Amino acid sequence: MKKIFIPFYLIVATIWFSGCQKDLERTNINPNEPTTVQPDYLLSNGIKANVDTYWGSDATMETTLLYIQYWAKIQYPEPDTYKPATTNIQNVWNNFYAQGIADFTKLAELGDTLHNPNYKAVGIIMRSWIFQVLTDLYGDIPYTQAGKIDQYLTPVYDSQRVVYRGLLAELKGAVSIISPADNPIQGDSLLANNMNGWKKFANGLRSRIALRIADRDPEAAKAVFAELAAEGNFLFTASDREAKLNYLTSPNQNPVGKNRETRNDYRISKTVVDRLKALNDPRLSIYAALPADTNAYVGVTNGLTADSASRLGFTKTSDVGAVFTATQAPAFVFTYAEQLFILAEAAQRNLISGNAADLYRQAIRASFKQYGITGAQVDTYLAQASVAYDANNYKKSIGEQKWLALFSEGLEAFAEWRRLDYPQLTPAYTGVLGGKMPLRLTYPSSEQALNGNNYKAAVARQGADVLTTRVWFDMY
Amino acid sequence: MNYVKRLLCLLPGLLWLQQSIAQEIRVNGVVTSRADAQRIPGAIIQVKGTSRGTQSDPDGKYSISAQANDTLQFSSLGFETTFAVVGNNRVINISLENSNRKLEEVVVTALGISREKKSLGYAVQELKSKDISEAKETNLVNALSGKIAGVQVTNSQGNLGSSRIVIRGETSIAGNNQPLFVLDGVPVDNSQLGVGTGRDFANAISDINPDDIASISVLKGPNAAALYGSRASSGVIVIKTKTGKDTKGGMGVTVNSGATFEKLLILPDFQNSYGQGTGGQFSYKDGKGGGLNDGVDESWGPKLDGRLIPQFFSNGEAVPFVAHPDNVKDFYVTGYTLNNGLSVGGSNEKLDYRFSYNNTKQTGILPNTGITRNTFTASNTFRITPKLTLSTYANYVRSAADNLPGVDGRRGNSVTLQFIWFGRQVDVSKLKNYKNADGTDYNWNHSYYSNPYWIQNENTVGMLRNRFLGNARLSYQIQDWLTANFRIGTDYYQDRRKYKVAYYTNGTPFGSYTEDAYAVSETNGEFTLNAKKKLGSDFDIDVLAGANLRSNQFEQNYQQAPRLAVKDVYTLNNSRDPLISTSLLTRQKVYSGFAAAQVGYRNYAFVNLTARNDWSSTLPRGNNSYFYPSVNASLVLSEALHIQSQALSLLKLRGGWAQVGKDTDPYQEINTYPFNQPFGSLPLLTVSDKYLNKDLKPEITTSTEVGVEAGFFDNRARLDVTYYNSRSRNQILLADVSSTTGYLKKLLNTGALSNQGVEVTLGLTPITTRSGFRWDVNVNYARNVSKVIELDADGFLNNYVLGSSGNMQVLASKGQRYGALYGTAYKRDSENRILVNADGTPSVDPSKKVLGYFTPKWTGSINNSFSFKGFNLSFLIDTKQGGSLWSGTNSTGMGTGVLEATMQGRDQEHGGLPYYTSGGKNIPLPDHNATAPGGAVVKHDGIIFDGYTADGKKNESILSAQTYYKAVYSSSLNESAVYDASFVKLREVKIGYTIPASLVKKWGLQAVNVALVGRNLGYLHKNTPNVDPETAFNTGNGQGLETLQIPTTRSFGFNLNVSF
């Protein structure tokens, strides 16, 4: 009897045990989240999350919108004196890398595995846009080793030159694989699933980057415009939808709108109000709101002390216009007006053929049209000597008008102001940079702790990790 | 020869046979306690030198057969063993002395096995029911504080919050470091759910009614707890509940009633010289910037000298601007705890039974906060046949709260935020009518805050937890030496929370409503076989083998109406926006097989072996089975070498080695894609910011422990010294990585952490007299040294973030003590002098620095207790030495000018320097009477920061007090608010009286006991100003940070215990 029983028990035990193994494995299947992802959901998320960062508090309201003197602070004015909060700096970096680079790298991969090159192209274009914003803002950044956690736990920082050149190549590649006729995409709230729109957006970014590096690397800039011409100058036109995200009602409201629901910390900067007034610019009534107590637009000086700012009074100073503070206000990523300003400058620099002055005026008209201003008042405006294009000082003409046109696009305006050095801005009243203005953001402190050696190498190459260090493209 | 041996083995049997033939007599009697004359049930009465024995019944009565020349041995847990020669006595009443002798102690060890303490190769400390129930802490964890060497307890917030307990330091870098709680052999949950929701919910073990506890045994670390497996590396707290057997004297009814009052132990020391405003100016119009600095929520305003200024209550009229020194204090109320319980218990041949009911009603020190707990317990043992016993335990707990205090300094639900950003002139009593006629709130400030009474009364969070704890155990005695046990136990609770934020709350104009529901369960089924045999006369063997199946489930449903459509209606249907909802379900299973053996030699040398194998669902196939053994030994030298004497009553050596494996949380293998709130009609999925690990291996903690126990002078001096050393490797850490990898965190499996330490307990009985006076001193000392050895295998990572507040982080930092406080520091020159900026403010170093460690260097306590004829008095002093705390309360309060410490330099009286301002620069004046050129205003609040300029000159730039304190205590400079967290606290004073049994009997009662208890009475010493150094945000590992805490409390209680 016993002899029979021992093998029997062994068999039972083995069956029981393998049953247990299966049971254990089944138990550890996560029932809460999928293990695979479909591209349209990922695209929708990537656009929403990254435009939120691009238009949100950390990258704009508390930093670039103040530096570029579109906005000023009337409460908690520390950031307006060039003391950015470490959390703001950290959030911009983390959000763009961990949400943007990660999501769009995955989307590009899905394009390959699902044999839909359009998704791959969109993934690459969005990722390139994010890298461009990051390098504009910080200078040298992890690029070639970024977003590859399996290979690189501590990615090296690439020089800004390498980043821009890499982006130009990636964008060119992305444009080449787009096939507007087939492989439709979904979930695109930036360009409404229009692959031609994506092609134009990518080409627009190529032209933007080309000008960004034009002072440093004129040959490369020239090559980009030559390529674009060879590809047929397929760029945004007046009738195209621009690259913009139309926000919805709560909880998907515009970040500025969301801020205004509960806070009252910001006003329009005195610098931009004064400039618009001086130019009799009809955009004043759009960019600025009337104060509760007065019938005149009053901007606030950047960098006031807490008590002098608060003494100006909430009801006696202008907030930014409702077009920007509305719940459903759009966030602009790339506008037709900007494309025209780029072409104007490219023409001026002989990177393309064309009449720079004419393109400059078209750019201003496009900006006016963006805010619904058309007709005689545009002509009157353009006829002013103060607006007329000055080919001898094109950086001033384009710099000042582009600054006005990019109002509220803090990141792009901050980059272009640094490159063109116009308009000439006076540092914040109690700025802490010894009479200088910020020329970049500092790296987040997490990089010191988590990617220390590469951080140190980047700082050694680029210069001290302070706001006043010039990034590579900022030659003058 | 063989024949002779066998014969010798039979000899004891033959002798017994011979004895049993001799003349037997029946001896009866009662066993009582000498200290309080209480009858002792369950005392063991044995005929010395034989295996014959009996137990006293619930009335303490016994009856045994013996012979005239026999000696009876009386023993009971906690009493000295006493002998009596039978002689011609037919009645032997014996009263037993309380025991000093640790040797005789029987303690509850792993799996609820009772063992003689002398047989154990590791340190174990036990608390008895009296220590726990009289302390009247509503959170059980607090009752352990200061009573056990090496145990550290940290309270979070006020008197309703959570408490964290850690034994022998942290063994896991990232995981749970709190011990496992086991109630009658079944693990019970001690989670703190809802961390980060702005409320400090009490940890779940606080559901246990202290009156139901018979004993708590603290198994410190792997050596003692290896049999519990995965969760034993942080130690185990083994709770034994009372049964009918514990009822003294037959069927007993015990009524217990207590009342405790809780008052603030500490409140920041506020200044009362300057009121709200900035730059010395303030005038109220609308409280949000319409007037002169009336949106400002700081106290850098005008002097509180009765000058006339419009204020929030004066409708624009200028009224005297005066101090209200107790404005914050007056907002707090006295909390009370009413505790009423009843238990009925008894025991007979077939049945032990105990039923208890307890009602605890506790109110907080913040208005309109409190919790009510009802506990029902039934504990029964049925002796179905002499061999088959069924024990059941069922405990139902209902905890209900209408409102719990808000924490984290959130504007919507926390009042501590606005009291540290405050106008010192604000008369809080004028805020009591908090609502205007139109339903909006009436307050001193409308820029940032709602009225504090509004917060307490309108923005409430309710909680309802229904919990069932139960187990059933079937025990069958197969042979005299072999027992089989089957036990099934469960801990199940549902916890529903409702968060209300009212319409018109500042920052949330439409209010919000959230429901958060949890269902948590753990079920354990366990089968064990236990064999006990004597091998020859020298060896005792006790072997146990068993299997356990554990299954855990956790469920959460969270739904929020982010903006209400209609005010004052709190339902999820009432929403302007789509609901925000998440649901989460996690499940976990662990199969285990285990075995343990104890071999004893001549009752003075013991070897214990354990082995366990776990199969956990949380680890991948191939790595999910892990085995770990332990061995320990003890040798009672005093007995082995026969050197026991009056002077050396005990000498025992012990030592052991143990290993414990630990699994992880569910779903840590495969990366998944989290959902985000849909964008209109577009669903959103994102790449997770955590990169998981499909090759996870179990964490392994290896621990060595040696110790010595000694008793001197008839055990009037008792010393126990332990040294331990543990090392944990393969630690599973969700480590922060550079976000440039595309992820914020990566799950690593390579962390290593070591701990070593010494624990000393010293017991002294300096005086004990025949008349019954006794003085006991118990000293505990523990020192733990931790070191983070490694984080990732490649050495890229130097820091793991345990917690943070603003810039301040708590780290496990490679090569350092666990719990480094890492933050922004003063910039210093090569001579370590603080540098200043061009404007004279201190310069901040761009690199963060380690500013201290939250882990203390050592902890200790001393308890003195005096007893005399039913009276007892004890006081417990408790200390932690050498840790640090970053205090956000101090940092903020200095910057906002509300703290008394900001008076220094603020005016001429307080040492301020004279200066005037010209062209944005402060120019010093020679004295306070000097006039400034051009008629500029002379100011008297100048301070010069004690530092050096970059070119090595002593700083001479003068700052206004406001600028000075804002710069030094800015949120971007942490160093100024890091303090030494050492303290010495008078933890507990207890006075008790047991009315003599003789008197009580006349009243028809069994026993009456009254006690007065004071807890957390005061600091004898501390170095952290304005706050309790013993606080934290929650029970996680990110300790050592404090900001805007609800102050801790001191309590005074009265307890009455009557048995019928």
B433 and chain A in contact, CB less than 8 A: no
Residue appearing with tokens 């996870």: B696
Give the residue from chain B lying closest to A253, CA to CA.
B679
- Please report, for chain A, how many H helices and E strands are present, in that order: 21, 4
Chain A residues with CB under 8 Å of B796 CB are: 153-154
Instruction: Measure in Å the smallest separation between the Cα of B740 and chain A Cα atoms.
Output: 5
B509 and chain A in contact, CB less than 8 A: yes
3-state secondary structure of B690: strand
B742–A148: do the CB atoms touch at under 8 Å?
yes
Task: For each of the domains in chain A, give its residue range(s) and CATH number, in order of start.
Answer: 39-237+328-462 (1.25.40.390)
Residues ≥6 apart with Cβ < 8 Å to B932: B916, B918, B923, B925, B938
Residues 64-93 of A with CB under 8 A from B: 74-75, 83, 85-87, 93
pLDDT attached to residue B149: 80
Residues 564-593 of B with CB under 8 A from A: 576-578, 580, 583-589, 591
B838 and chain A in contact, CB less than 8 A: yes
* Among the partner residues B288, B509, B686, nearest to A99 by beta-carbon distance: B686
pLDDT attached to residue B408: 67
Which token pair is B762? 């010293």
pLDDT attached to residue A8: 66
Which token pair is B680? 């209109």
A252–B679: do the CB atoms touch at under 8 Å?
yes
- Angle (CA) A423 A429 A435, round 5°: 70
Contact A296, A423 (CB under 8 A): no
Query: Does domain B186-265+334-413+459-817+855-883+981-1059 match CATH 3.90.1150.10?
Result: no
pLDDT attached to residue B43: 82
B621–A21: do the CB atoms touch at under 8 Å?
yes
A353 and chain B in contact, CB less than 8 A: no
A24–B584: do the CB atoms touch at under 8 Å?
no
Best of B585, B739, B798, B841 to substitute, by most chain A Cβ atoms within 10 angstroms, is B739
* Among the partner residues B588, B740, B848, nearest to A142 by beta-carbon distance: B740
pLDDT attached to residue B953: 94
A23 and chain B in contact, CB less than 8 A: yes
pLDDT attached to residue A1: 41
In this structure, what are the phi and psi dihedrals at residue B589, rounded to the nearest 5 degrees? -135, 145
Query: ipTM of this predicted complex?
Result: 0.94
Instruction: Measure in Å the smallest separation between the Cα of B548 and chain A Cα atoms.
Output: 13
DSSP code at position B844: B
Contact B954, B946 (CB under 8 A): no
**CATH 2.60.40.1120 residue ranges for chain B:** 25-99
Residues 367-426 of A with CB under 8 A from B: none
Q: Which residues of chain B have pLDDT under 70?
A: 1-23, 35-37, 51, 77, 99-105, 135-136, 156-158, 196, 246-250, 408-409, 1033
pLDDT attached to residue B23: 66
In the sheet where B978-980 sits, what is the strand order?
B978-980, B884-887, B1041-1042
Instruction: Measure in Å the smallest separation between the Cα of A322 and chain B Cα atoms.
Output: 19
Task: Please report, in angstroms and rounded to a whole number, the separation of the first and last CA atoms in chain B.
Answer: 64
Which token pair is B735? 């480590």
Report residue A430 CA to chain centroid gap. Answer: 28
Consecutive 10-residue runs of chain A (476 residues): their mean pLDDT?
A: 55 70 90 95 97 96 97 92 92 96 97 96 98 98 96 95 98 96 94 97 98 96 96 94 94 94 90 97 97 92 84 88 96 97 97 96 97 95 96 96 96 98 94 92 89 94 95 94
Residues 317-346 of A with CB under 8 A from B: none
B576–A28: do the CB atoms touch at under 8 Å?
no
Do β-strands B94-96 and B25-33 pair in parallel, antiparallel, or remain unpaired? Answer: parallel
B562 and chain A in contact, CB less than 8 A: yes
B738–A142: do the CB atoms touch at under 8 Å?
yes
Which token pair is A339? 């494309």
pLDDT attached to residue A16: 67
Residues 290-309 of B with CB under 8 A from A: 290, 292-293, 295-296
Do β-strands B871-881 and B252-264 pair in parallel, antiparallel, or remain unpaired? Answer: unpaired
Residues 721-750 of B with CB under 8 A from A: 736-744, 746
Do β-strands B871-881 and B913-918 pair in parallel, antiparallel, or remain unpaired? Answer: unpaired
CB atoms within 10 A of CB B998: 8
A310–B674: do the CB atoms touch at under 8 Å?
no
Which residues are registered as beta bridge partners of B303?
B274
pLDDT tens digits along B527-557: 999 999 988 889 999 999 999 999 999 999 9
**CATH 2.40.170.20 residue ranges for chain B:** 186-265+334-413+459-817+855-883+981-1059
Contact B389, B241 (CB under 8 A): no
Residue from B186, B907, B800, B855 nearest B549 by CA? B186
Give the residue from chain A lying closest to B687, CA to CA.
A103
Instruction: Measure in Å the smallest separation between the Cα of B295 and chain A Cα atoms.
Output: 8
Give the residue from chain B lying closest to A131, CA to CA.
B740
Chain B residues with CB under 8 Å of A100 CB are: none
A149–B741: do the CB atoms touch at under 8 Å?
yes
Query: Does domain B25-99 match CATH 3.10.450.50?
Result: no
Handedness of CA A142, A147, A151, A154 (dihedral sign): positive
Chain B residues with CB under 8 Å of A432 CB are: 837
* Among the partner residues A42, A141, A149, nearest to B685 by beta-carbon distance: A42
Best of A18, A22, A24, A447 to substitute, by most chain B Cβ atoms within 10 angstroms, is A24
pLDDT attached to residue B8: 39
